[in-house]
Chain A
Amino acid sequence: MFKDVALGQYYQASSFVHRLDPRFKILALIAYIVAIFLSENFYGLGMCALLLLLTIAFSKVPLGKVIKAVKGILFLLVFTAIIQLFFYKPNENAVVWVKWWVITITDQAVFFTLFLLLRLSLLVMVASMLTYTTTPVSLTDGLESLLTPLKVVRFPVHELALIMSIALRFIPTLMEETERIMNAQKARGADFESGGLMKRAKAVVPILIPLLISSFRRAEELGDAMDARCYAGSKVRTKYKKLTFSWRDLLAFFIMAALVTGVVLFNVYLGGVV
Chain B
Amino acid sequence: MKALEFKNVSFSYRKAEEGKTSSFAVKGVNFSVEEGEFVAVLGHNGSGKSTLARLANGLLEASDGSVEVFGVPLSEQKNLFSVRKNVGIVFQNPDNQTVASIVEDDIAFGPENIGVPREEIGVRIEESLAAVGMSEYKERMTSALSGGQKQRIAIAGVLALKPKIMILDESTAMLDPKGRREIMQVVKKLNKEEGMTILLITHFMEEALMADRAIVMNRGEIVMQGTPEEIFERHDELETYNLALPPIGVLWKKLEEGGMPVGYALTPEDLAEEIAKCISKSSA
Taking beta carbons and an 8 Å cutoff, which residues of A are in contact with B? 10, 12, 135-137, 165-166, 168-169, 172-173, 217-218, 221-222, 224-232, 236-242
Contacts and interface: CB of A to CB of B under 8 A. Distances in A.
B141 A228 contact: no
Contacts of A166: 99
Given A10-B102, A137-B100, A227-B84, A240 B140 contact: no
A250 to B, nearest CB: 24
Contact of A10 (B54, B59, B141, B161): B141
Interface string B3-41: 000000000000000000000000000000000000000
A242 B112 contact: no
- Choose among B91, B104, B113 the residue with the greatest number of A CB atoms under 10 Å from its CB: B113
Given A10-B141, A225-B96, A230-B113, A238 B101 contact: no
Interface residues of B, number: 43
Given A10-B102, A240-B118, A242-B118, A229 B141 contact: no
Contact of A221 (B93, B110, B116): B93
Contact of B117 (A172, A228, A238): A238
B109 A222 contact: no
B97 A225 contact: yes
B179 interface: no
Contact of A236 (B95, B110, B115): B115
Contact of B116 (A10, A225, A226, A238): A238
Contact of B113 (A173, A231, A241, A242): A231
B143 A230 contact: no
A172 to B, nearest CB: 4
A232 B81 contact: yes
B161 to A, nearest CB: 7
A229 to B, nearest CB: 4
B89 A228 contact: yes
Interface in B79-100: 81, 84-85, 88-89, 91, 93, 95-100
Given A225-B91, A229-B109, A137 B101 contact: yes
Interface string B148-189: 000000100110010000000000000000000000000000
A114 B111 CA distance: 52
Q: Is the interface of A mostly helix, strand, loop or mixed?
A: helix
B101 A222 contact: no
Contacts of B89: 225, 228
B121 interface: yes
A238 B59 contact: no
A224 B59 contact: yes
B140 A221 contact: no
A230 B91 contact: no
A221 to B, nearest CB: 4
A135 B121 contact: no
Nearest to A239: B112
A147 to B, nearest CB: 18
Contact of A135 (B54, B59, B98, B102): B102
A240 B139 contact: no
Given A228-B84, A230-B114, A218 B96 contact: yes
Contacts of B101: 10, 135-137, 165, 168-169
A173 B143 contact: yes
- Choose among A136, A222, A231, A240 the residue with the greatest number of B CB atoms under 10 Å from its CB: A240
B142 interface: yes
Nearest to B98: A169
- Choose among A136, A224, A226 the residue with the greatest number of B CB atoms under 10 Å from its CB: A224
A229 B105 CA distance: 14
Contacts of A241: 105, 108
Given A224-B54, A238-B117, 17 more contacts: A135-B102, A137-B100, A137-B101, A166-B99, A172-B141, A218-B95, A222-B97, A225-B96, A228-B91, A230-B161, A236-B115, A237-B113, A237-B115, A238-B112, A238-B118, A240-B112, A240-B118
